[in-house]
Amino acid sequence: MGGSTRTGSALAERLGRLVGTDSAVPAVEYEGRAVTWGELRRLGEAAARELDGLGLVEGARVGVVLGNRPESVGLVHLVLSTGRCLTVFNPLQPGERLAADIERTTPPVLFAPAAFWKSEEFALAVARAGAIGYAAEGASVRRVPVASVDGAATPTRFAPGVAVELSTSGTTGPPKRIPLAYRQLEAALSSVNGHMAAGKRERAPFTGGVTLITTPMVHIGGLWGVLQSLAEARRMVLLERFTVDGWREVVRTHRPKVTGLPPAAMRSVLDAEVPAEELSSLRAITAGAAPTPPELAEAFQERYGVAVLVMYGATEFSGAIAGWSLGLHREWWERKKGSVGRPFPGVDLRVTSETGEVLPEGERGVLEVRTGQAGGAGEWTRTSDLARLDEDGFLWIEGRADDVIIRGGFKVHPSMVAAALERHPAVAEAAVAGLPDERLGQVPVAAFEVRPGADVPGEAELRTWCRRELLPYEVPVRFLHVPELPRGVSQKVSRVDLVALFK
């Protein structure tokens, strides 16, 4: 797709093989229109000429405001096929946060849709970052004049070996930008292919089955879907954002065998009572990005006869590192529902105490991971997740260590409190966070959504319910009904925004 660089990355070389693909072949479907490989290639070639002219060759950081648009797919391919570094910016965040992220990150160049350059706040942030701006529309790239400002930053031009700089979802605090190396993404592709054990058949590029991309590309789940599709030369159907109607239409039209749905989207499909015959092509749904309650998976499976394959991963691991396959599901689901499956090939897991002592099977502690998908190859990476490993090698996630609420010296795990609330017949989903308290340090509070058609239970009713289900210090001090829980791009509940509801 252009660019004069040479790279030893197996991923870059694999993506580079697409360059000779027939220009007329449809590669992406977006808003009912087929976007050809030729259009994506011309966009990449135009961007490559600009980058080469600036000396931003292999290893250079390339900022992209990465919306779910065909232009984003073209730019992802260009950057990763030439050994450059994709520095991702989230178009879904408020303008003030996006501007602050640009100034903090200081990319040497920034590609964004033309509409963003109409914002003075956005253009000023690019100028302050010392970046050169480009509008990417269709198959063309246009340099955007950026005013000079006093005190502009000196951009960080190169990040050798880094494929993607991606922000975490920031559900428990400010987002962190995570560098993902080329070798991590290569290990992840190998691991996932080994886990799913899918049969490979020779076919022309961008033919055969399609991949539905409904998760935002600024989240590792959405970006991973695009990356895997490019690596396998598989055609994509791109939704700018998930809606039940949009999703059911592409499933009905393209009849995929497997697609992904975060838990919140799965619940929306159930609530919309989508007819089972519309989903008859599906054999499985992969569910990740946020915890998937076993009751939700069971309800989806019973309604549609479709296996729900729960996955576990994180941005730091370049995606999923454990999960269910169809084979595991057939053999183990009834005995292991609620688990997130087994580790993928090449992934080692262990559970440790707070002091780092390795715990035996069945005991709960902090999960540690050793995999080529992590930053330090061959090293154990300590997560923030509380987990246990059972005697059959299945992983159970039981909350987050950094979510723990300390109430008067007693530990309260938000996930356990939320699970108790969700057993109430009227509560569809609940989320729990800690509020500062002068006497006790912190106290738990809960927000909740109700099931369609259910009456909203009062605080007294919910408090009584929780007293039957929980220890006294675990019972929330406040309950708040909300039409929708606040969520980030990953569809996880944002603890930061949840706490703000109670202030």
pLDDT of residue 378: 73
The pLDDT-based confidence of 196 (bands split at 50, 70, 90) is: low
CA distance 431 to 480: 10
pLDDT of residue 409: 83
Asked whether the predicted pLDDT for residue 209 surpasses 90, the reply is no
Taking alpha carbons only, the member of 68, 52, 71, 65 closest to residue 140 is 71
CA distance 233 to 226: 10
* 173 Cα distance to chain centroid: 16
CA distance 283 to 61: 40
- The whole-model pTM stands at 0.84
- Dump pLDDT digits (tens) for 223-259: 999 999 999 999 999 999 899 999 999 999 999 999 9
Asked whether the predicted pLDDT for residue 368 surpasses 90, the reply is yes
From residue 457, alpha-carbon distances to 1, 248, 269, 428 in Å are 58, 32, 24, 12
pLDDT of residue 317: 86
Comparing 2-6, 157-161, 384-388, the range with the smallest average pLDDT is 2-6
Asked whether the predicted pLDDT for residue 3 surpasses 60, the reply is no
- Dump pLDDT digits (tens) for 398-418: 887 778 898 988 889 898 999
Q: Do domains 242-401 and 404-500 have the same CATH topology?
A: no
Hey, is 161 helix, strand or coil?
coil
Asked whether the predicted pLDDT for residue 195 surpasses 60, the reply is no
Give the mean pLDDT of 451-473.
94
22 burial via Cβ count (<10 Å: 0-12, 13-18, 19+):
exposed
Comparing 71-80, 279-288, 371-380, the range with the smallest average pLDDT is 371-380
Hey, is 56 helix, strand or coil?
coil
Q: Are 232 and 202 in contact (CB under 8 A)?
A: no
Give the mean pLDDT of 264-291.
91
Asked whether the predicted pLDDT for residue 448 surpasses 70, the reply is yes
CATH fold of 404-500, please?
GMP Synthetase; Chain A, domain 3 (3.30.300)
DSSP codes of every residue in 266-279: HHHHHHTT--GGGG
Asked whether the predicted pLDDT for residue 443 surpasses 90, the reply is yes
Q: Are 405 and 431 in contact (CB under 8 A)?
A: no
**Alpha carbons within 13 A on the beta-carbon side of 34:** 11
CATH assignment of 10-23+33-183?
3.40.50.12780
- Dump pLDDT digits (tens) for 22-53: 999 999 999 999 999 999 999 999 999 999 99
The pLDDT-based confidence of 203 (bands split at 50, 70, 90) is: confident
The pLDDT-based confidence of 5 (bands split at 50, 70, 90) is: very low
What residue segments make up the domains of the chain, in order of their start?
10-23+33-183, 242-401, 404-500
pLDDT of residue 4: 45
Asked whether the predicted pLDDT for residue 202 surpasses 80, the reply is no
CATH fold of 242-401, please?
Rossmann fold (3.40.50)
pLDDT of residue 446: 96
Query: Pairing mode, if any, of strands 162-167 and 85-89?
Result: parallel
CA distance 251 to 68: 18
The angle formed by the CA atoms of residues 228, 232 and 233, to the nearest 5 degrees, is: 110
pLDDT of residue 201: 57
- Most confident of the following: 145-149, 244-248, 312-316: 244-248
pLDDT of residue 49: 97
Mean model confidence pLDDT for the chain: 91
